Amino acid sequence: MTKAQLIVALAESSGLDKKSVNGVMDALADLVKKQLGSDGPGEVTVPGIAKFKAKEVPATQDREGTNPFTKQPMTIKGKPASRKIRITPVKALKD
């Protein structure tokens, strides 16, 4: 289901116009981004849908490895620290 299809379906079921539903969807997306951002608490629950959690992934160091094709030693570059988002559906959706 695309965003446009979701907006049309919500507008029909709620009796609101599409512009209002689109505004609510945009506000919800902004709120989730703010809560999961670096300044937010890193967790937000959308009741009846899902729980979003941001997890800090630490940086990895450069390490030595072996090229599987040439069998020569090589350095594998490390990765910078990042945030991963985990989404857990509510129990009612799992059942």
**pLDDT tens per residue across span 1-22:** 999 999 999 999 999 999 999 9
Q: Output the pLDDT for position 74.
A: 97
> Binning pLDDT at 50, 70 and 90, where does residue 93 land?
confident
pLDDT tens digit string along 45-69? 999 999 999 999 999 999 999 999 9
pLDDT band at residue 30, thresholds of 50, 70 and 90?
very high
Tokens of 89: 């559906």
Beta-strand runs (E) in the chain: 43-46, 50-57, 63-66, 73-76, 82-89
